[in-house]
Amino acid sequence: MKIHALQTGTVRCKQFQLTGASNVLSRLYQLIFTDKWGEWMPTYCWLIEHPDGLTLVDTGETAQIYEKGYLPDGGLYHKAVETRIEPAEEIPQQLAKIGFAPKDIKTVILTHLHGDHIGGLAHFEHCKIYVSKTEYDFATSKKGTGNGYFKKNWPSWFQPELIRYNNADEGNFSQSKKITTDGKIVVVPTPGHSIGHQSVLVKGDNHTTILAGDLTYNESTLQQEIADVLLPNTAAKQTVKAMHQYVQQQPCLYLSSHDWNAPTILAEKRVYHE
């Protein structure tokens, strides 16, 4: 199964999210009162050429972020994250570069519902779209907007298939959900970065490719078990530990949504090792 990395713009967050800082007060101080931004990072989504049909994991950012009212005017959101994208970098143009169009996609799996992962949704009304039920329920609750989910920007037709994990263990993950009939595309719950965050496992003959979303920013932070979180939480700690164990138990390509190295790991089939 061929997998393609498709970059839709760049993003940056505060430095502590990359280096880790367990002290909550220090994190809040840095978030609100400092301008210590990390480097600009890519925003990837992934195309999987599966025999059941083309499957897209996340839909990337949209240039609508520059339209007035699309993002909040002020507040904490702009203290936490900045995104950049040109219209020519959106998902339809990235698909076109490898000879595909949105209409060719059959299935979309969303790792979570933050804007830089669902900005391209408008192009995929014809697809079966999977989201974790926990993520969807939280994002559509009263708490959603205050936690970085902007339902007002979602397409009005958006009624995803809500994943309840019910298949067997997947390695040391106690729950999973098979997406394809051959069981080669599987999702596992990886909460922490967001409440219902999930990662996609693509099982090949020689290795499993992990489309980890925002679980960690890269392989190095996985090794150090630094989760990609604004504020530390128990779920994130458990998730990052579980994933760190998983990648040591079998040959894996570990691909984070915001890791500049991800396309090289993919192209060179660079199996995770320490």
**Of residues 114 and 244, the one with the C-beta less far from Zn ion:** 114
Q: Which stretch binds Zn ion (CB under 5 A): 48-56, 152-160, 208-216, 258-266?
A: 208-216
Q: Which stretch binds Zn ion (CB under 5 A): 19-27, 110-118, 136-144, 155-163?
A: 110-118
DSSP class of residue 256 equals -
Residue 162 β-bridge partners = 131
Which residue of this chain has its Cβ atom nearest to Zn ion in the complex? 114
By the rule CB under 5 A, 214 interacts with Zn ion: yes
CB 149 within 8 A of CB 113: yes
Q: Rounded to whole angstroms, how far apart are CA atoms 185 and 180?
A: 6
- Grouping H, G, I as helix, E, B as strand and the rest as coil, residue 211 is strand
CB 166 within 8 A of CB 29: no
Token code pair at residue 85: 């994208």
Over the window 218 to 257, marking each residue x when it contacts Zn ion by CB under 5 A and - when it does not, the resulting string is ----------------------------------------
Q: Least distance in Å: CB of 228 to Zn ion?
A: 7
Number of residues that bind Zn ion (CB under 5 A): 2
**Of residues 214 and 219, the one with the C-beta less far from Zn ion:** 214
**Of residues 135 and 214, the one with the C-beta less far from Zn ion:** 214
Q: Which stretch binds Zn ion (CB under 5 A): 43-51, 106-114, 234-242, 261-269?
A: 106-114
Give the β-pairing of 2-13 and 81-84.
antiparallel
Mark out the alpha helices in the chain (DSSP H runs): 16-19, 24-33, 77-80, 91-97, 115-118, 133-139, 219-223, 234-249, 262-267
Q: Which stretch binds Zn ion (CB under 5 A): 3-11, 156-164, 169-177, 211-219?
A: 211-219
CB 66 within 8 A of CB 88: no
Among 27, 50, 114, 244, the residue binding Zn ion under the rule CB under 5 A is 114
Residues of the shown chain interacting with Zn ion in the complex, contacts defined by CB under 5 A = 114, 214
